[in-house]
Amino acid sequence: MYEEGRGVKQSYEEAALWFRKLANQGDDDGQYKMGTIYRDGRGVAQDDSKAVHWFKLAAEQGGASAQFKMGFMFENGLGVEQSYAEAAHWFKLAAEQGDSASQCKLGYMFENGFGFEQSYVEALHWFKLAAEQGQKIAQCKLGYSFEYGHGLEQSSAEAARWFKLAAEQDYGLAQYRLGLAHENGRGVVQSYVKAARWYQRAAEQGSDDAQCKMGLLCSAGHGVAQNDEEAARWFRLAADQEHATSQCELGCLFENGLGVMQSYEEAMRWYKMAADRGNVNAQMSIGLLFCKGRGVDQSFEETARWTKMAADQGAASAQFVLGSLFEEGDGVVQSNEEARRWYEKAAVQGHTGAQSKLESIRQGSLEFVHIDI
């Protein structure tokens, strides 16, 4: 009554006094409440070690909620020395009583080999039990397992079904995955409209991946009205969370003045953020800005440096451009051998321009045609 203020003036201090009396009489609900009070610091000074003391008393009487709390405390090292083995022990006790949160935790621990030997079969067993009780994280986990065929037969339709169950409970990660399924027609009928709807719900919860997807859909006009201003807004939300693809896309909007005021300086700033995180498109875009002298002093040396970063990551278009730079000696020491090497790397990946270059070389023509990058 005092805890919730029902019929009396709400008071955590008074609630703590009454729960303590129950707990001292061995009442497991009272012991659990005392653990919660100390864990949250309501009516008493916050103290994780005292929380563990009371949770343990309740857990030893078989309380599933208290057993889950003991698992949580050991998992995170709160009031006790961190121990996955102890966490697994307590989660298993609660899970065997049907506690869905503990079943989900147990699945996670088997999946990652925390406290148990790693086992996808055991992980799926516990995830399925939790998912069937409506546990949204477990439902999403089952979706992943069906999508990638981890421990069971791959099925995009089953993946989408489980993602949808979790998404309808407002689980952002599942909403994003369901958006992907609709965008690509995996397990469901392809629909940009439905993809946009699920992406937006996830994006509004702060998912940077979903925010980026919304930006791309707004930019292309897929499933939503084409709107560069909206695209820029979504990209910026994700970019501010250090989402590299969104930073690159925002740089592109600034470079071309789409939805934002055109600015090569702002374009370079966002490209640089993305490039520093390894985004190959941003690295190539910086190379092009230096090549054209847009917002920076023209420098083929800088063009070659940034292009090589992308080429070293396997980007075929960057490898082709780098081959062209070596062919012409722009920003690098001219070398037909290096040009051929980079063209070969790009050609293996199916780059038609590189394949044409190599064909010319095989026919004995070393007269390279200049490529305007």
Domains of the chain with bracketed CATH:
134-205 (1.25.40.10)
CA atoms of 282 and 274, how far apart (whole Å): 6
Per-residue pLDDT, 11:
60
Backbone phi and psi for residue 187, each to the nearest 5 degrees, phi listed first: 80, -5
Check: CB of residue 102 under 8 Å from CB of residue 71.
yes
Per-residue pLDDT, 243:
98
Per-residue pLDDT, 17:
80
Residues of the chain with pLDDT under 70: 1-12, 364-373
Check: CB of residue 289 under 8 Å from CB of residue 256.
no
Per-residue pLDDT, 152:
86
User: What is the pTM for the complete model shown?
Assistant: 0.86
| Residues whose CB falls within 8 Å of the CB of residue 362, separated by 6 or more in sequence, listed in order | none
Encoded tokens for 141: 């986990």
Tens-digit pLDDT profile for residues 265-280: 999 999 999 999 999 9
Per-residue pLDDT, 15:
74
Buried b (16+ CB within 10 A) or exposed e, 11-34: ebeebbeebbebbeeebbebbbbb
